[in-house]
Amino acid sequence: MTRDDEPHEGRTADFDVVVVGAGFAGLYALHRLRELGLSAVAFEAGDGVGGTWYWNRYPGARCDVESIEYSFSFSPEIEQEWDWTDLMPSQPEVERYLNFVCDRLDLRREIRFSTRVTRMTFDEPRAIWSVETDAGDVVTAPFVIAATGCLSAPLEPDIPGVSSFEGVSLYTNRFPKEGFDFTGKRVGVIGTGSSGVQCIPVIAEQADRLYVFQRSAAYTFPSSARPLEPSELAELKAMYPEIRRQQQASPAGAVRLSAFAALFQPSKGEILDTPYEEQLRVLDEHGWLGAFAWSDALLDIDANRAATRLYGEMIRRTVHDPETAASLVPQYPFGCKRPIVDVGYFETFNRHNVTLVDLKKDPIDTITAHGIRTREHDLELDVIVFATGFDAMTGALTRVDIRGRDGRSLKDEWADGPRAYLGLAVAGFPNLFTVTGPGSPSVLTNMVTSIELHVDWIADCLVYLRDHGAHTIEADADAQEAWVEHGASLVEGRIPSHPSCNSWYVGANIPGKTRVYMPYAGGHVSYKEQCEAVAAEGYDGFLVG
């Protein structure tokens, strides 16, 4: 099925495949498609490649997976040609790496930059997708690969008065390319997820005054980020085959999780059976991670609370002001949200120019022309940094007007929570593949490992269709329901679905979003086996036409 062929009776198309997005997933998809001799075009909203690593260029942005694993495994040449400088790569380094890969594979000519896909319509009689963009493109292709990312639809904060601020408004999820000098400025940061926690210590060093507006406290751990020694890098490069093998055997798709190493060490026993003095001794020995080094901490809510109390002890030891320290202790269970890695986050609250505003006690009334008014304070600001997160997992897809069979809208289909088979395909939307879509391990794993698995699976599927003279593939509705139920059963009664756990994994950060746990919690290894079995059985659970 090349561009010149007619893959379906009476069907002509501009390309074999349209790829949406040019981050890790889009770039790898373009590469695989070219290898298969398929024609493709990618649309990318940014004016450069990188996706998440293009947009989230706020100060302090850094990956929490080691660079040696947060990288493509498909090319031994690229593995050897690229030199990582840091153990945990910073945003600029990941962006440089993806530009290197893009040029090394000569992918840029297939990407239309600064172009956002707005609408995709499946023409049933011709079995062709028509894809429209905000630049006026209308292109057709039998297949679409949505490489749209899990955290790429910015959440616009619904804070009263947000548009009335006359100072500078900055967003971590689309930070200015030229950077921003906070020197001498009075700054407010709203949000204390990964982005807030990473940028706050850096901004604090520059700003005249910094107010941190916290709605939910964060579980964060000291980062093990450091430069890689050249000899160390050479050693790691020589070990790539073994590292990749281990990654594939790991439920997280990553093994060298140095930041969380203590969490994976043999447990210190059950916290509920351990006297507090002994718990404190473990804390003295293991530091921050010692708080959760207990076998029951992630299984039992009371044990989890006891571990959080221990974590709070570490905060009290670090943060001098007792009231600030108390506000910084999370109120929700550990394991509900992705733990963060930081560089000097809690220490930042000991600086004379930094103030924590605990929104649970003193909520924001409104943003004014000159700053932020809370119930108790009127704070004048020059800059507000919004680190308020994303419409995660589904937002990048539901913000595009996607129409499948009978004009059905994906947004409507997912109004009560996303339903997808293997997180790869949606019933009623033939020939549309969703890379790391809802219902796949995605954000619970090393994203690069999950992306490679999906893109390879899709590429194999396209070959299968070509070899079998088939033109359409679509998730079967019953198989999809069974998969959704299986996914839900994995978290039922567990910490991530506890009522007090308001994470973006369940869409709780978006007012009105149906509460459904969206990623697949079964781990990379089991998930991969299931994907492979589906393919081996002639795409079991799919309708191939």
Report which DSSP code applies to 156. Answer: P
Per-position b or e across 437-463, b if 16+ CB within 10 A of its CB:
bbbbbbbbbbbbbbbbbbbebbbbbbe
Q: Which is nearer to ligand NA7, 151 or 210 (CB)?
A: 151
Q: Report the nearest approach of ligand NA7 to the CB of residue 312 (Å).
A: 18
Q: Report the nearest approach of ligand NA7 to the CB of residue 212 (Å).
A: 10
Nearest 5°: phi and psi at 36?
-85, 0
Q: Report the nearest approach of ligand NA7 to the CB of residue 364 (Å).
A: 6
Q: What is the DSSP string of 302-349?
A: HHHHHHHHHHHHHHHHH-SSHHHHHHTS-SS-TTSS--EEESSHHHHT
Q: Which is nearer to ligand NA7, 223 or 509 (CB)?
A: 509
Q: Which is nearer to ligand NA7, 222 or 269 (CB)?
A: 222
Q: Report the nearest approach of ligand NA7 to the CB of residue 245 (Å).
A: 26
Q: Report the nearest approach of ligand NA7 to the CB of residue 162 (Å).
A: 9
- Measure Cα distances from 334 to 65, 214, 474, 499 in Å: 19, 17, 38, 13
CA distance 240 to 233: 11
CA distance 516 to 505: 8
Q: Report the nearest approach of ligand NA7 to the CB of residue 202 (Å).
A: 14
Amino acid in position 253: G
Q: Report the nearest approach of ligand NA7 to the CB of residue 509 (Å).
A: 4
Per-position b or e across 472-488, b if 16+ CB within 10 A of its CB:
bbbbbeebbeebbeebe
Farthest-apart Cα atoms in the chain, separation: 77
Q: Which is nearer to ligand NA7, 76 or 160 (CB)?
A: 160
Place of tokens 């509920």: 272
Helix (H) / strand (E) containing 187: strand 186-190
The residue nearest ligand NA7 at its CB is 193
Q: Which is nearer to ligand NA7, 58 or 457 (CB)?
A: 58
Q: Report the nearest approach of ligand NA7 to the CB of residue 194 (Å).
A: 4
Q: Which is nearer to ligand NA7, 59 or 193 (CB)?
A: 193
Q: Which is nearer to ligand NA7, 7 or 330 (CB)?
A: 330
Contact call for residues 26 and 44 (beta carbons, < 8 A): yes
Q: What is the DSSP string of 226-293?
A: -BPPHHHHHHHHHTHHHHHHHHHTSTTS-S--GGGGGGGSPP---GGGS-HHHHHHHHHHHGGGGGG-
Q: Which is nearer to ligand NA7, 55 or 292 (CB)?
A: 55
Place of tokens 């008065």: 161
Q: Report the nearest approach of ligand NA7 to the CB of residue 248 (Å).
A: 22
Query: Which residues, 6 or more positions from 506, have their beta carbon under 8 angstroms from its beta carbon?
Result: 496, 497, 515, 516, 517, 518
Nearest 5°: phi and psi at 233?
-65, -45
Q: Which is nearer to ligand NA7, 349 or 539 (CB)?
A: 349
Q: Report the nearest approach of ligand NA7 to the CB of residue 197 (Å).
A: 7
Q: Which is nearer to ligand NA7, 444 or 459 (CB)?
A: 444
CA distance 82 to 455: 22
Enumerate binding residues for ligand NA7 (CB under 6 A).
Answer: 151, 157-159, 172, 190-196, 213, 215-216, 338, 359, 387-389, 443, 504, 509
Coil vs helix vs strand at 34: helix
